[in-house]
Amino acid sequence: MKLGILAAMEEEIAMVMDEVENPVKWEIADRVFYEGKMNGVDCVVSFSKWGKVAAAITATLMAEHFHISHLVFVGTAGALSDELNVGDIVVAKRLVQHDLDARPIIPRFQIPLTDKVYLPTDENLTNLAMRTIEGLLKREFKEIVGEEAYREFSFIRPTLVSGDVASGDQFISTDEKRQELIALLPEVKCVEMEGAAVAQVCAEFNLPFTVIRIISDKADHDARVDFGKFIHFVANVYSKSIIVELTWKMAM
């Protein structure tokens, strides 16, 4: 097994990179990759950069250059479901590109040259991610994120859900756009900018993958403020905790 680990922002994955044992640094296509081991599992870690195209390029490099066997994407997302709060975690069942629209040639959201709208994550890897996060959330949450973040966001005990995730080259930050997406894709739990593109790369390379998203905001008019604070205080620690525990379970 060789695990690819991605996040869209360096701030979301810097602490994960620090966990790579004896890392070898590679610079390819204006991207930095760290190859080594984590808890005995061969891995390569990088931040994909923002947006679908950038993330697809990075995922393709992981598949082609590093010959990964599995891929995990971890990062933040805005909530569409009213049941989700800041700090909750969504593990994707399926991913869809909410800004893909080639009508009238093909139906809205359908990936060209396929009959697919949604791309499913790998069942085994997703179930392992769910079990890993369930175990983490049994701990005292303040121990994971720290006292400062706990006070800043007035965290209640986070919840874990599994469901659909939507991706698009837009940062959703208005109530109007949020409601539009809810009406179009009512089953979607959260929205972000990379996961569905990475899913398409993995599908074409036949790579098992999963996508883990931490809710940083409600994808409304307060999203910009909430997002900046959340990245600074929480995202890095969350990503590290999840990935370290996940690789430990993979090594068992």
Active site residues: 12, 217
Q: CA 118, 210, 12: angle at the middle one, nearest 5? A: 115
CA atoms within 13 A on the CB side of 231: 17
Report whether 37 contacts 2 (CB < 8 A): no
Closest CA to 106 of 96, 117, 95: 117
Among left, alpha and beta (phi > 0; psi -120 to 50; other), residue 42 is beta
Report residue 94 as tokens: 């399926």
Question: How far apart are the C-alpha atoms of 94 and 90, rounded to whole Å?
Answer: 11
